[in-house]
Amino acid sequence: MNYKFPKDFWWGSASSATQMEGAYNIDGKNQNIWDYWYEIAPEKFHNKIGPHDTSDFYYKYEEYIALMKELGHNSFRFSISWSRLINEDQSVNEKAVEFYNNVIDTLIKNEIEPFINLFHFDMPMYLQNIGGWENREVVILYQKFAKTCFDIFGDRVKKWFTHNEPIVPVECGYLGEYHYPAVVDFKRAVQVGYHIMLSSSLAIKEYKKSNQDGQIGIIINLTPSYPRSNSKEDLDASNIADLILNRSFLDPSVLGEFPGKLIEFVKEQNLLPIYKSEDLEIIKHNTVDLLGVNYYQPRRIKAKESEIKDGDPLTAESFFDFYDMPGKKINPHRGWEIYEKGIYDLSINIRDNYKNIPFYISENGMGVEGEERFKVDGKIEDDYRIEFISEHLKWVHKAIEEGCNLRGYHLWTFMDNWSWLNSYKNRYGFVEIDLNNNYKRTPKKSAYWFKDLIKNNGF
Ligand code: BG6
């Protein structure tokens, strides 16, 4: 079978500032929540490796981009670090401007299109200290940061994203303990989510006002929600999970309004955030041109069976249980389910229920621990990753054939990078990084396989 992709399909990879730049306190960069958390609680991070020197992209970007070129990529997504670009007194850090200008220009010179994301989990610490996304003032400062980015880099950058996985700071920082401030408080979580959504719309508003000729969107991690059975209870539980975890950002971003059922739910639970009436107009009139979709795994849901004990805090999971479906395929390293058809199902959902908006797969990938054991003659033979990508791409191809407006595929990630609390535990890259040897880079087998795929625009 031959899988051919449309002309000008975007092939490449995705990354984020904190996970690859390093130089965490160099040239005027401020502390972000990760730098701070690592300072006060290094034991939380796998092998106690923090975000200090992650992949050293700040110094080695030219070599990394040269390798991307050699491997045939035509696009690359990275993020701008808010705490690097904007000084605490809100002036612009010229050293950071120089760095990002150099990265953008080097990419363009190598015919790799820069896709820029403005927020990838990395709240500046001085803003977290005044409440982070809980504080409306921070939303306004983010809007200014976004405008600064458009003003400085928008002449060359034509694909912008306001946030990566906006539900994650909510879920992991305010409903779980994986991101700072690591509290469990549903009311605060809803306020955070609401402000992130509003900030996205305000950034889009700024972009439209600037009259630049690019596109702006948001990157959402979609986790298709599959009920255990068709019983009313399982279906209801699955719908609630979908509303909270997918539609809370997908609907307002694309359709301009929160789902009515989500509003009902939030009201019933007494979780309504503080808002201004004009906000809903801002959200309504500033929807995305383009959507990035990160897809790793679905969620299997069943009606709530586990007991809620007195004193247990309310969380999203107070309303459903995860269903451990027998026989599901699992990536044993990360523990995540592998369900390739999910990428097709979410694409059809976007085609049918979200205006068939242009979108691309902005992340998909497989984290593996201890990849060195697959080394043959110095190169990691990651056939499992080739299979993972190709099995997903078959479904991407089918979705396109059936009319989905799907424009590209980016792997998470280009080179093995630092990943939050997991640090360097699971490796996702096309390119191996040797931490003990000045970040020596060796492309894995999948990198060459992907190069061929790009050359043929198919496989
Ligand atoms: C995505 C994030 O959710 O998953 C990335 O956008 C992250 O920042 C990636 O690194 C892989 O997740 P993890 O936790 O396995 O490293």
Q: Whose CA is nearest to atom 13 of ligand 1?
A: 419
The residue with tokens 């247990």 is 312
Q: Encode pLDDT of 208-255 as tens digits.
A: 999 999 999 999 999 999 999 999 999 999 999 999 999 999 999 999
Dihedral sign (CA 250, 206, 172, 388): positive
C-alpha to C-alpha distance for 133 and 125, rounded to whole angstroms = 12
- Name the strand (E) or helix (H) holding 45: none
Catalytic residue among 113, 337, 340, 363: 363
Q: Other CB atoms closer than 10 Å to residue 358's CB: what's the count?
A: 17
Q: Encode pLDDT of 122-153 as tens digits.
A: 999 999 999 999 999 999 999 999 999 999 99
Q: 3-state class of 86 per DSSP?
A: strand
- State residue 424's pLDDT score: 96
Domains and CATH numbers, the chain: 10-456 (3.20.20.80)
Longest alpha-carbon distance in the chain: 63
Mean pLDDT, all residues of the chain: 97
Q: Which of 419, 424, 427 to mutate to test the pocket of ligand 1 (most atoms within 8 A of CB)?
A: 419
C-alpha to C-alpha distance for 61 and 21, rounded to whole angstroms = 9
Q: Encode pLDDT of 368-403 as tens digits.
A: 999 999 999 999 999 999 999 999 999 999 999 999
Is 363 a known active-site residue? yes
C-alpha to C-alpha distance for 71 and 454, rounded to whole angstroms = 9
User: In this structure, what DSSP letter does residue 56 have?
Assistant: G
Q: Encode pLDDT of 319-329 as tens digits.
A: 999 999 999 99
Distance of CA 306 to the CA centre of its chain: 30
* Among 51, 48, 55, CA closest to 32: 51
420-to-35, 54, 121, 179 alpha-carbon distances in Å: 11, 11, 9, 8
Determine if the peptide bond prior to 181 is cis (ω within 30°): yes
Q: 3-state class of 321 per DSSP?
A: strand
Cβ(343)–Cβ(396) below 8 Å: yes
- pLDDT surpasses 80 at 1: no
End-to-end CA distance of the chain: 8
Strands 440-443 and 431-434, how do they pair?
Answer: antiparallel
User: How far is ligand 1, taken at its centre, from the CA of residue 160, in Å?
Assistant: 20
Q: Which of 299, 362, 363 to mutate to test the pocket of ligand 1 (most atoms within 8 A of CB)?
A: 363
Enter the ipTM: 0.98
Q: Encode pLDDT of 92-119 as tens digits.
A: 999 999 999 999 999 999 999 999 999 9
C-alpha to C-alpha distance for 393 and 1, rounded to whole angstroms = 13
**Residues in CB range of 260: below 8 A, 6 or more apart:** none
Q: Encode pLDDT of 339-377 as tens digits.
A: 999 999 999 999 999 999 999 999 999 999 999 999 999
Q: Whose CA is nearest to atom 5 of ligand 1?
A: 419
